[in-house]
Amino acid sequence: MTPSVYFYLPQRFWPDALPQQAGEAWPGYVVGMYAWTIQTYLWLRERLACELVDTLPSAGIVLVHRNSLRAHAEPLRPHPERLLVCLQGDLPPYPQAQIHVVQNPLQADGRYRRLFLPHWPQPGLIPRDPSRRERFDTVAFFGHQDNLAGLGDDWTAALARLGLQWQPRLNRNRWNQSTGIHQRWHDYSDVDVVVAVRSWGWRPQWRTRCFGHKPATKLYNGWLAGVPVIAGLESAYRAERQSPLDYIEVKRPEDCLKALLRLQQETTLRRAMTHNAHRRSQTVRPDAIAHRWLAFFQEVAFPAYARWRTQSDWGRLWLIQRQQLAARWGRLESKLRSRVF
C-alpha cells in the first residue's frame, strides 16, 4: 500500500497567502524553506498524491525543510509509522531524519541516505529578449547580496571603459522573510551576461569545500534565460559541466574582466554558448526535475518507508545514531577547515 506523502510547513512559518502555481513569480520563493517545500509540493501535486500541511503528521512520508524545524524546541523523536525526509538546503543535516535531500552532489552520501536532487530553477523567469540579438552591454548578478563576491570600488568604472553597465539585482531578505526582494529578481529580458561568483581566493574554497553546500541554480537560470554565465570555482557548477560552453570559470576579478572582454569581442562564442544553454536547459526545466522527484519516491522513499516500519526498535535506533555520528563529524570537519587557514 502506497504511504501518504506530506510536505510539512509549521504554522509558525506559514505565509499569509500561498502561491496558486509553482511557476509564478511569488516573492516567497526566495526563502529556502518555501522554495523547497511549497514549490516542490505545487510541482508534484498533479503527479503524486500529496498534501501541504501545517501540523506534523504521525504517519506517512513527511518532507520538511531544515529551517522549518526551528519551530520545534526539541528534536523530533523517530516514529515507527513516520519516515522523515529532511530537505537540507545549505544547512547541516538533521540527525533525526531517515533521509536527506541535498542540493549539491558533493553532499550526497549513500551510506547516510543523503541523495542529490537539483534545486528548482527561478520561478517566473523572464528570458532574454530575442530582439536584443547581438547586443552586449548589460552585466548582471541575480541573488542575495551575501552571495556576491567583492568586486572592488573600480569595478563599475572598469566595466564602463569596456562599454558595459553593471546591473546587480540584489535581494536583502532574511532567511525567513520575503521582504527586501529586488523588483526584477526574476527578469533576464535585458541581460546579456550573468556573473555568478560568491568569493575570490582559495581560502573560501578550502573552508567550504568549493561551496559544497550550495546549488547550481544560478547556472540553471542562465541556461533557461539564454544568457552566457561567468561563474566562480564551485563544486555544484563543476558537477554540471559537460562542455566549456556551459559557463566560463574565473578565479580572480581580472579573470572576470577578461572573460567579459572575450565575450564582447567574440560574437561566435556568445552564439555558441546561447545555443548550448538552450540544449542544457532541457535537463533542468521543472518537468525534468519533477520526473526525478517521482523516481526518488518510487525508488528510494517508498521502499525506505516499508523498511522503516518493519525494522526492530534497535535497528531504528542504530540508524539514528549513525546519522548523529555523521552529523557530529561533519561539524568537526567544518570547524577544522575554518581554523586551519
Residues 14-67 have pLDDT tens digits of: 999 999 888 899 999 999 999 999 999 999 999 999 999 999 999 999 999 999
For range 210-238, the mean pLDDT: 96
What is the Cα–Cα distance from 93 to 95, expressed in whole angstroms? 6
Share of the chain above pLDDT 90, in %: 77
pLDDT value of residue 322: 87
pLDDT tens-digit profile of 57-85?
A: 999 999 999 999 999 999 998 999 999 99
pLDDT band at 341 (very low <50, low <70, confident <90, very high): low
What would the mean pLDDT of 1-5 be, rounded to a whole number?
A: 91
Q: How far apart are the C-alpha atoms of 258 and 266, rounded to whole Å?
A: 12
User: Which domains, from first to last, does the chain contain?
Assistant: 5-120+286-340 (no CATH), 130-281 (3.40.50.2000)
* First-to-last C-alpha distance (Å) of the chain: 53
**pLDDT value of position 340:** 66
pLDDT in tens, 165-179: 999 999 998 888 888
Identify the pLDDT of residue 284: 97
> Which pLDDT score is estimated for 331?
78
Q: Are 249 and 232 in contact (CB under 8 A)?
A: yes
Mean pLDDT across the stretch 240-258? 96
Kindly report, residue by residue over 89-141, the tens digit of the pLDDT: 999 999 999 999 999 999 999 888 999 999 999 999 999 999 999 999 999 99
Question: Which pLDDT does position 333 carry in this prediction?
Answer: 77
User: Residue 204: pLDDT above 90?
Assistant: no
Phi first, then psi, for residue 279 (nearest 5°) are -65, -45
Q: Round to whole Å and give the CA distance between 56 and 289.
A: 26
Give the three cell numbers for residue 331. 561539524
Pairing of strands 229-231, 193-196: parallel
Strands 51-53 and 5-8 come out as: parallel
Query: Would you put residue 210 in left (φ > 0), alpha (ψ -120 to 50) or beta?
Result: left
Q: What is the mean pLDDT of the chain?
A: 93
Q: Please compute Rg for the chain using Cα positions.
A: 21
